[in-house]
């Protein structure tokens, strides 16, 4: 029997129409209508595989050879949802070895790591097996090649949440952040882990503020830990997290003018004036001064935003002195 996949021996690949074991199948050509405006120039082997795949769909055949055919169809277009769906139907119908399928999808993902369909297929195979033992190591491998692969992170979060694999995840995330403190995906994962375990109770909040500020101290213009710090503090308020506010003031007094620092100081000042506009006009003055500094010098690429922000604060919170009765 001829091998259905050209991956094993591309030089000896045989078209399906020339395979003896497929002579009983009438291929179904793609119907693009009588006058397609822009006809796609498919390769001969692509047309051959998909003509036979359409024939399988028409007859509903679910067999080993149909499964092998989907392997070739996926090799030629790994994003084809219909092929993946039919492959899963076949796997269930013929009670295929799911361990073999997991090995197959592992290899496929390594070749197409940013393809949604391959990750969705893996998720379903893991569900059917009820075995997540390979998933953390596998996603770690994919992330070692691309630390910001959204699909790998999404799969990892699903696995951790579904199978309660939280125990060592903060250690894993800290390792990634140590390797690259600008890895915003790792910071997002840290938030995900804390929010779904201890939540941001008082102890966890103080620990995370200390962690974020320690990283900021090493790279003051790194946006990721600043976003993390802001996300934690705004779960409550700046007023209730004096350590974060004191950290920002120390940086400012030390002549740091990172736009992320100045932005947070604007928020701190706005919170103060919002609580009591009449008594905290000095906080408004400071917020306006910071907005002007950001617009004119420290974040000029967003000058229009900071000008708008300053104008909006002025309009909303300025308390004008009452006119004299004289």
Residue 35 has pLDDT above 80, yes or no: no
- Summarised one tens digit per residue, pLDDT across range 193-245 is 999 999 999 999 999 999 999 999 999 999 999 999 999 999 999 999 999 99
Residue 5 has pLDDT above 50, yes or no: no
Question: Residue 42 — pLDDT band, cuts 50, 70, 90?
Answer: confident
- Output the pLDDT for position 302: 98
Q: In this predicted structure, which of 2-6, 191-195, 242-246 has the lowest mean pLDDT?
A: 2-6
Q: What percent of the chain has pLDDT over 70?
A: 91
Q: Compute the distance between CA of residue 291 and CA of residue 314 in angstroms, rounded to an integer.
A: 11
216 compared with 320, residue with greater pLDDT = 216
164, 1, 134: which is closest to 69 by C-alpha? Answer: 1
- Summarised one tens digit per residue, pLDDT across range 122-141 is 999 999 999 999 999 999 99
Residues in the chain: 326
CA Rg value for the chain? 29
Name the token pair of 200.
Answer: 């941001």
| Catalytic (active site) residue 114 | yes
Average confidence score pLDDT of the chain: 93
Q: Compute the distance between CA of residue 282 and CA of residue 276 in angstroms, rounded to an integer.
A: 11
Question: Residue 3 — pLDDT band, cuts 50, 70, 90?
Answer: very low
pTM of the entire predicted model: 0.88
- Summarised one tens digit per residue, pLDDT across range 82-100 is 999 999 999 999 999 999 9
- Output the pLDDT for position 38: 63
- Number of other residues whose CB lies within 10 A of the CB of residue 253: 8
**Of 114, 148, 175, 239, which is the active-site residue?**
114
Task: Give the CA distances from residue 146 to residues 133, 140, 152, 219, in Å, rounded to whole numbers and listed in that order.
Answer: 22, 10, 9, 22
Cβ partners under 8 Å of residue 37, min gap 6: none
- Output the pLDDT for position 6: 46
């Amino acid at each position: 029997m001829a091998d259905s996949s050209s991956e094993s021996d591309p030089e000896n690949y045989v078209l399906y129409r020339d395979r003896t074991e497929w002579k009983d199948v009438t291929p179904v050509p793609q119907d693009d209508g009588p006058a397609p405006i822009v006809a796609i120039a498919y390769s001969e082997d692509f047309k051959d595989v998909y003509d036979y795949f359409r024939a399988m769909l028409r007859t509903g055949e679910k067999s080993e050879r149909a499964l092998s055919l989907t392997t070739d169809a996926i090799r030629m277009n790994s994003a084809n949802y219909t092929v993946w769906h039919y492959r899963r139907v076949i796997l269930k119908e013929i009670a295929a070895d799911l361990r073999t399928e997991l090995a197959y999808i592992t290899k496929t993902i390594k070749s197409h790591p940013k393809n949604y369909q391959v990750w969705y297929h893996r998720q379903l195979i893991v569900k059917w097996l009820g075995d997540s033992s390979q998933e953390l190591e596998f996603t770690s491998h994919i992330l070692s090649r691309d630390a910001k692969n959204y699909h790998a992170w999404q799969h990892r979060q699903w696995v951790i949440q579904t199978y309660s694999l939280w125990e060592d995840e903060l250690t894993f995330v800290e390792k990634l952040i140590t390797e690259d403190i600008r890895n915003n995906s790792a910071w997002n994962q840290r938030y995900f882990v804390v929010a779904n375990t201890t939540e941001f109770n008082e102890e966890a909040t103080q620990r995370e503020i200390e962690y974020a500020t320690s990283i900021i101290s090493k790279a003051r213009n790194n946006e990721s830990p600043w976003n993390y710090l802001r996300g934690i503090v705004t779960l409550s308020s700046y007023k209730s997290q004096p350590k974060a506010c004191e950290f920002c003031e120390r940086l400012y007094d030390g002549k740091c003018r990172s736009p992320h620092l100045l932005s947070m100081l604007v928020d701190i000042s706005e919170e103060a004036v919002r609580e009591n506009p009449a008594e905290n006009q000095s906080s408004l003055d400071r917020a306006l001064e910071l907005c002007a500094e950001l617009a004119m010098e420290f974040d000029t690429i967003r000058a229009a935003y900071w000008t708008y922000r300053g104008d909006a604060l002025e309009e909303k919170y300025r308390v004008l002195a009452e006119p004299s009765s004289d």
